[in-house]
Structure 1
């Protein structure tokens, strides 16, 4: 069983894994955060913030801090860090796992439009609606900035980075959200199309139920593919089993 586990965090699953490992005698756990959220919640164990300087920098950190196992529990759309983690693990021989909660799947009555990117989502919007609820996070909104004829409601944890579409209302909020609350929000702003990334999980899934009940189309940006040779496990229990730990 590893004595020092580095978790690339930022998700609910990363927090749960850190709490489990930190409670085990003889286990050192370090969670690394990218630093993109201004006020992250408290985490058990050690915490570091900021990048590593690419895969080489991460490999150096793994060696210098004698890391025995690496768990990439970042957001499913953190494509660069997942690639860096895989390359650093290969360079150092440190065992590595990717923890990814399962993606969302459509239910009867859903009107989903799958797209491969934010740019493709922006291209699809004019034919689907004029009042858009955009829940893709505060980064990457440049893809929608040219849509001057649409009205956007943008929700993120921290203020979004410009450029934004000219007709944009920003709501700062952190999940979990309820179906009742999401339904009320969609009605209050007269939303007629929702855009979301396939983040998975329950914390932000209520908007999908609300959109289904209101009969709204949903543009779903699908996840990027994992690096070659990398597979994901779906939950904390699987990570603990792979690392050789019994369930607490």
Structure 2
């Protein structure tokens, strides 16, 4: 039996799994499997998709799951939609654990867009040396940009199609402001591209961009299905405990 299914390989998902296991809760954490060597949470772990909302609903029923916490990345649209539909179908309580988005501050030069395609069209007008931190799966949106030079930071090597003038940096956060500032300076970066992932693990690049006067193209978060939502692990633990305690 899995009392709680935690969806996502985020830091919040790992912290939640650890807190639940410490309380004696039977937890299964589900990871998408898109990273070759993910950081694994404590407790049971499954890797790979469920086969859509129907497959997830079957899994919840077969495992006697009492609650689902969607702690996926803010841009993980597909699994978020599947979780909402499967929870509704099975009557399983669903919580969305979503870190707050980033907020623009004094000195920031941010340009908001809705998609990576819009970001690709914009960067071609903003600068010549672009730092892409939007994930390896989104690099294809920039493949048609033949003029700028790109530095793309990814956890795993990207697959084509890719921008023709591209250097890939394989690295994983967290990062420091000093390190990010040096990276922007040494590579002569004049535009930064990021998704509004939120959290502290990669926010140093935004501070570095502010310090160096580098404009930032920020992709807005996609809409997610309605669900009860909390912003921190402590509140998620309280919600789960209230479901299980009776």
Regarding TM over 0.5, the answer is yes
**Would you say how many aligned residue pairs link Structure 1 and Structure 2?**
243
Are the equivalent residues in 1 in contact too, given 2:14–2:40 (CA < 8 A)? no
Partner of 1:79: 77
Residue among 117, 124, 127 paired with 2:125: 127
Equivalent positions of 1:219-234 (< 5 A) are 219-227=217-225, 229-234=226-231
1:40-85 Cα shifts (integer Å, max 9, x gaps):
1232100000000000000000000110000000000000100000
Residue among 223, 237, 243 paired with 1:240: 237
Secondary structure at the counterpart of residue 78 of structure 2: helix
1:165-199 Cα shifts (integer Å, max 9, x gaps):
00000000110000000000011110000000000
Under a length normalisation based on structure 1, what TM-score does the superposition of the two structures give? 0.95
Under a length normalisation based on structure 2, what TM-score does the superposition of the two structures give? 0.96
**Distance in 2 of aligned mates of 1:208 and 1:231:** 29
**Distance in 1 of aligned mates of 2:111 and 2:57:** 39
- Alpha carbon RMSD of aligned pairs, Å? 1.4
Residue among 148, 162, 175 paired with 1:177: 175
**Distance in 2 of aligned mates of 1:35 and 1:162:** 19
Residue 187 of structure 2 is aligned to residue 196 of structure 1: no
Tell me which stretches of 4 or more aligned residues in structure 1 moved more than 6 Å. none
Partner of 2:149: 151
Deviation at 1:231, TM superposition (A): 4.0
Residue 29 of structure 2 is aligned to residue 31 of structure 1: yes
**Distance in 2 of aligned mates of 1:171 and 1:232:** 34
**Relative to structure 1, is the Cα distance of residues 231 and 135 closer, same or farther in structure 2, using a 3 angstrom cutoff?**
same
- Please list every run of 5 or more consecutive structure 1 residues that lacks an aligned counterpart in the other structure: none
